Amino acid sequence: MEKIKELAFFEKLLNTPQNSLVDKAVKEGRIPIAYNCYTAPEALLSVGKAFPVRLRAPQTTSTELATFYMSPFTCSYSRSILEAALDDQYEFIQGMVFAACCVQIQRTAHNYKLQKLKGDEKFVHYLIDVPRKEFDAYVPALVADLKKLAGLMETTYGLDMSEENIRKAIHEQNEFNKLLKEISDFRKLDKPKITGSEWHMVYTACKTAPKDMLVEPLKKLKTALEKREGFEAKARLMVMGSICDNPAYIELIESQGCLVVADRFCYGSLPGMEMIPEEGDVFTNLALFYLESNECPRMMEKMEFRAERAENYLEEYKADGIIFETLKFCDVWGYEKLKTLKILEDKGIPCVRIEREYALSGEGQMKTRVQAFIESIQNKQLTEKLAK
């Protein structure tokens, strides 16, 4: 099928952290703030002149310096981010907000502070202590944390972090997510109009630049996709697991004849396009929203909920099976592999486990695994048809 030209715009944004839109925004006097996780509230980082840039390391293939500072037994994402920063790829940012999603990324945050910040800069370096349990008593603590971050943004950048402005940012994020969701829904069709790698490219690009600059390109893309014929595939798959911000991985999977219709991984869109309540106290809304909506395996006591959500995604996106990928040394998804994935496997859902590194490598073996997985799904479907 033809490659539509509207996608090229998003593709170019992924080549380097300091892409053309970031450059333009910085020249206009806007404030780029890097962040690492779904639970670091994008809306709060989008107030006034600020805009969020989710951390990626697209140009990093080896991590010598970061490995020295962080040890080889940390995941390659956390090391790659530090390496990219040490290679001066994030010199343009004026703030770094981390959600304490895992211990390893916290080491990245600490090392960034030690290696890159001199102490006298107008730079917000903040670690949000997102609770690991969804428990009423934790909400005020997270609210206080978010208020502290807002206060720092106000004093450091001179931004007006009033309730009114934060509510406006939340509203704009909701509107943006509505548009994204309309494009995402093309994946649910019997013949999806967008491939998994194309979607991943668009969604990832939307995390790397000011959202207001992406609205028009997204609208053009949506119009082009509406006219497009859908894709057929040998199998429809959901990818689940550790952080993936490289569409080449999804392309590699799809090169074996399947379509990735659902992306339940860190940096994926499930969850990622939900509406944040706009009425009521903005900080409480943000705290509750991120505590309740996140499906991260770092959250304790929610395994059954996550397995149920994964099953719902399979049904909603008509996926035939799950590729469960984990980064080497990823603690949280490693735990999920033993627990939640087991629940799904025991229900008879076809699953394959793949361990990988952040930078694209081991392509041949990955292709073999995916191909064998698709063949086993096809054989299972054939056997079921014959039995009927």
What distance in Å separates the CA atoms of residue 95 and residue 121, rounded to the nearest whole number?
Answer: 10
Which CB, 152 or 352, lies closer to other proteins? 352
One character per residue 312-351, x = contact with other proteins (rule: CB under 8 A): ----------------x-----------------------
Q: Left (φ > 0), alpha (ψ -120 to 50) or beta: where does 119 sit?
A: left
User: Binding residue for other proteins (CB under 8 A) from 29, 119, 348, 364?
Assistant: 364
Provide the H-helix boundaries in the chain: 6-13, 20-27, 64-70, 76-86, 103-116, 139-157, 163-184, 196-205, 215-227, 247-254, 282-293, 303-316, 331-338, 340-346, 363-387
Of the candidate residues 88, 228, 380, 388, the single one contacting other proteins (CB under 8 A): 380
Helix 76-86 × helix 103-116 angle, to 10°: 10
In sequence order, the 6+-apart residues with CB closer than 8 A to the CB of 119 are none
Instruction: Give the nearest distance from C-beta 364 to other proteins in angstroms.
Output: 6
Out of 171, 275, 353, 359, point to the residue binding other proteins (CB under 8 A): 353
Task: Among 113, 132, 309, 369, indicate the residue that binds other proteins (CB under 8 A).
Answer: 369
Residue type for position 66? A
Nearer of residues 29 and 364 to other proteins, judged by Cβ: 364
The tokens 């994030």 sit on which residue?
90
Tell whether residue 379 is a contact of other proteins (CB under 8 A): yes
Distance between CA atoms of 319 and 259, rounded to whole angstroms? Answer: 9
Widest distance between CA atoms in the chain: 72
372 near other proteins, judged by CB under 8 A: yes
- The one-character DSSP state at 119 is S
In the set 165, 293, 355, 359, which binds other proteins (CB under 8 A)? 355
Query: Which of these segments, 125-133, 297-305, 312-320, 365-373, binds other proteins (CB under 8 A)?
Result: 365-373
238 versus 327: smaller Cβ distance to other proteins:
327
- 72 binds other proteins, rule: CB under 8 A: no
Nearer to other proteins, 219 or 328 (CB): 328
Residue 8 in contact with other proteins, rule: CB under 8 A: no
Binding interface with other proteins (CB under 8 A): 328, 352-353, 355-356, 361-362, 364-365, 368-369, 371-372, 375-376, 379-380, 383
